[in-house]
Amino acid sequence: MMTRPGRLATSLAALVAVFLLMPLIAVIPVSFTPNRYLSLPDGDWSLRHYRALLENPGWVKGFGLSVGIGVISATLATSLALLFSLGIWILRPRFTGLLMGIALLPMVAPPVVSALTLYFFLITLSKFNDRIAYDTWAGVALAHSVMIAPYAVVLITVALAQVDRRLDLAARGMGAGLMRRIHSVILPNIRFGVSSALLLTFVLSWEEIGVTLFITSVNAVTLPRMMWMGLRDNIDPAIAAISVILIVVVFVVISGKTLWQRRTIAQPK
């Protein structure tokens, strides 16, 4: 029998929970304001800021750009991370710590240092070509891949840690080559880890702003970059509208996932 937290502990935790949800709830009424500035709808609710999202080509373009960059960088980062994590798992090299350190560097370094580093990288590339360069979509996708690959490494490494090595040994003993072992034995066992890595890296690229701020100016304006511009000077209530949409999506996905997990736990085969 577990000792449950008492009334005081429960109320303190409830306070923190309210604190966590408060700003997310606050954007809902603001998004329906009829005014052009940040304010509460004074009895007069309006959908004009939602309409602005569809009518302003900047938001539409930013949305498309963010989806495209997210898909490409998540795929690239997860592929590289998958190969790397497989290599570490199969080989168990002597310098695992050091190799992991290099792979995880962009995750542990301060975001502003990564941003400056990638800025340097892209303006250097700009001297040689204008496709993968500063303020281009390909440059942003490349920079995002660098930033999100460590998270894919972590998720896939965790998934691999659950795989029974004896399966691989058996396959190897029966003469399977490296490719066959990976394709027919290891990959089927880490499918869930790889798809989680794809999803997480997509979301991380989708909402990336720290690095994006350094490496874009007027051409490659992703959705977060667009939001940033509306946040800095005169606060544009269209940001409340887009925020509400994003919050609803996250809410639905997390609720769905939780319910689905509970159902699968409740009804074992």
Partner 1 sequence: MPAVPRSALLLLPLLGFMVLTYLVPFLGILRWSVTLPEPGFGQYQTALTDPLVLAVFLRTFRTCAVVTLVTVVASYMITLLWVRGTPMQRLVVEFCILIPFWISVLTRAFGWLALLSTKGIINTWLQTTGILSEPLTMVRNEFGVIVGMVHFLIPFAAFPLASAMRTVDERVLLAARGMGASRARVFTQVFVPMTAPGVLGAALVVFVFALGFFVTPAILGGGRSVMAAELVYLRIFQSPNWGLGAAISVILMLGVGGLLALLMRQVRPAGTR
Q: Hey, which residues between 2 and 61 contact partner 1 (CB under 8 A)?
A: 2-6, 9-10, 12-17, 19-27, 29-30, 37-40
Residues 108 and 196: their CA atoms lie apart, in Å, by 20
Kindly indicate which of the ranges 50-58, 140-148, 167-175, 190-198 contains the residues binding partner 1, using the contact rule CB under 8 A: 140-148
Decide: is 161 part of the binding site for partner 1 (CB under 8 A).
Answer: no
Provide, rounded to whole angstroms, the least separation between the CB of residue 54 and partner 1. 19
Q: Which of residues 195-224 bind partner 1 (CB under 8 A)?
A: 203, 206-207, 209-210, 213-214, 224
Using CB under 8 A as the binding rule, whether residue 69 contacts partner 1 is answered as no
Q: Find the shortest distance in angstroms from Cβ 127 to partner 1.
A: 12
137 near 67, Cβ under 8 Å? no
Question: CB count, 10 Å around CB of 136?
Answer: 20
Nearest to 144 by CA among 240, 52, 217, 71: 71
Minimal CA–CA distance to 149: which of 243, 46, 49, 76?
76
Asked whether position 171 contacts partner 1 by CB under 8 A, the answer is no
In the bound state with partner 1, the residue whose beta carbon lies nearer, of 60 and 250, is 250
Smallest gap from residue 227 Cβ to partner 1 (A)? 5
CA dist 237 to 52, 144, 159, 233, 249, Å? Answer: 10, 28, 42, 12, 19
| CB-facing half-sphere around the CA of 110: CA atoms within 13 A | 3
CA angle, 222 as apex, 221 and 224 as ends, to 5°? 115
Say which residues have a Cβ less than 8 Å from residue 266's Cβ, sequence separation at least 6.
Answer: none
- Site track 173-192 with partner 1 (rule: CB under 8 A), x = hit: -----x--------------
Neighbours of 91 (CB within 10 A): 10
| Interacting residues of 104 by C-beta distance below 8 A, sequence separation 6+ | 150, 153, 154
Residues 75-114 that bind partner 1 (CB under 8 A): 80-81, 83-84, 86-88, 90-91, 93, 99, 102-103, 105-106, 108-114
CB of 11 to partner 1, least distance (A): 9
Member of 51, 55, 120, 183 binding partner 1 (CB under 8 A)? 120
Count of residues of this chain found to bind partner 1 when the rule CB under 8 A is applied:
89
Cα–Cα dist 238/52, whole Å: 7
By the 8 A CB rule, do 144 and 200 touch? Answer: no
Among 65, 69, 72, 118, binds partner 1 (CB under 8 A): 118
- Distance in Å, CB of 60 to partner 1, minimum: 18
Contact flag: residue 246 with partner 1 (CB under 8 A): yes
Nearer to partner 1, 50 or 207 (CB): 207
